Chain A
Amino acid sequence: MTVAAHAEVHGQPAGQTPVRGIDDAERLRASVYAFLANLLIRAPNASLLAEMAAWRGDETPFGQAVNRLAEACKTADPDALGEEYEALFIGVGRGELLPYGSYYLTGFLNEKPLARLRKSLRALGVERDPSVKEPEDHIAALMDVMAGLILGSFSAPASLEKQKSFYSEHIESWAPYFFKDLEKAKTGTLYRHVGSVGREFMEIETAAFAMA
């Protein structure tokens, strides 16, 4: 099963009875992870921008970050965003940011954190599609794994314990720093707001796992 399966699962209209016993709060978490994965693997197109522009947050810090992102989406130009994504993550030689766990944790790509991640993924029965060239510790891939674990895209929905273990071993130690960097990236405009949403979400996840 590929990760495309996520989309079908979150395709449920809000309020519809969750399938396979995943409750609403968990489904929302998966949606946020999937949303971050989508924006971090490529720039949003015009229709995604239009959807995001309609999002309304509440008064929470996360809600406020969503509002700022939505506001920025109203005036964003898809072509310019494509260039922004390129400058941030790809660049000539390299982008402004290197969105890889190994880099954040060791200063180098493809180091031990990647090996540890691969081991965990094997244990979870998840493997990278052979057509994918990027290492598995790309931020989007990790967000995607979390969505898949929550929704059960790889096998049965993962227990909170398994989710927590994956999160604390492979995400918590660096993703918050990555999102902070994204929030203040020189080449970032709309993506700075993506950084804020991601940072707020990581704070929520860290706090919520502590209650698990």
Chain B
Amino acid sequence: MSKPDKKTRTESGSGRRDFLKLAGLTTLAGGAAIVTAKGEAEAAGSGPSGAGYQETDHVRTYYKLARF
């Protein structure tokens, strides 16, 4: 097992990269679509639609950089 440095990502394998390419993830390659959707979901979260689950804005704020 190699050391956890950034090089690992680029060196550890074209095998992994090729696998990921063939795994179908490209189907969401629109990527932007997901993100746009995220923004819209947030906007919707502040609206009055639906039953009470909209207070869960926490995907947006679930985590933040810890201040030590």
Q: Which residues of A contact B (CB under 8 A)?
A: 1-4, 6-7, 10-14, 21, 23-29, 31-32, 34-35, 37-38, 41-45, 47-48, 51-52, 54-63, 66, 78-79, 82-83, 85-86, 90, 121-122, 125-129, 131-132, 134, 136, 140-141, 144-145, 148, 154-157, 159-162, 165, 200-201, 204, 207-208, 211-212
Whether A4 contacts B60 by the Cβ 8 Å rule is: yes
Q: How far is the CA of A28 from the CA of B16 in the complex (A)?
A: 14
Whether B59 contacts A28 by the Cβ 8 Å rule is: no
Contacts of B27 in A (CB 8 A): 55-58, 60, 62-63, 66
Whether A212 contacts B16 by the Cβ 8 Å rule is: yes
Chain B residue at minimal CB-CB distance from A131: B61
Q: How far is the CA of A44 from the CA of B16 in the complex (A)?
A: 32
Q: How far is the CA of A35 from the CA of B25 in the complex (A)?
A: 12
Q: How far is the CA of A31 from the CA of B17 in the complex (A)?
A: 16
Contacts of B34 in A (CB 8 A): 10, 31, 34-35, 38, 51
Q: Which residues of B contact A (CB under 8 A)?
A: 1-6, 8-10, 12-13, 15-17, 19-42, 44-45, 49-54, 56, 58-66, 68
Q: How far is the CA of A90 from the CA of B50 in the complex (A)?
A: 14
Q: A63-B27, A129-B58 are in contact. Are A162 and B20 (CB under 8 A)?
A: no
Chain B interface mostly: helix
Give the shortest distance, in Å, between B33 (CB) and chain A (any CB): 5
Q: How far is the CA of A41 from the CA of B56 in the complex (A)?
A: 7
Q: How far is the CA of A193 from the CA of B7 in the complex (A)?
A: 36
Whether B37 contacts A38 by the Cβ 8 Å rule is: yes
Chain B residue at minimal CB-CB distance from A40: B59
Q: A28-B28, A85-B53, A129-B58 are in contact. Are A148 and B63 (CB under 8 A)?
A: yes
Q: A38-B38, A211-B16, A212-B12 are in contact. Are A45 and B49 (CB under 8 A)?
A: yes
Whether A62 contacts B23 by the Cβ 8 Å rule is: yes
Q: A34-B38, A144-B62, A161-B4 are in contact. Are A14 and B16 (CB under 8 A)?
A: no
Mind listing 22 A-B residue pairs with CB under 8 Å? A2-B61, A4-B42, A12-B32, A13-B31, A14-B29, A29-B25, A32-B28, A34-B35, A34-B38, A43-B50, A55-B33, A57-B24, A57-B27, A125-B68, A127-B65, A131-B58, A131-B61, A154-B65, A200-B24, A201-B25, A204-B24, A207-B23
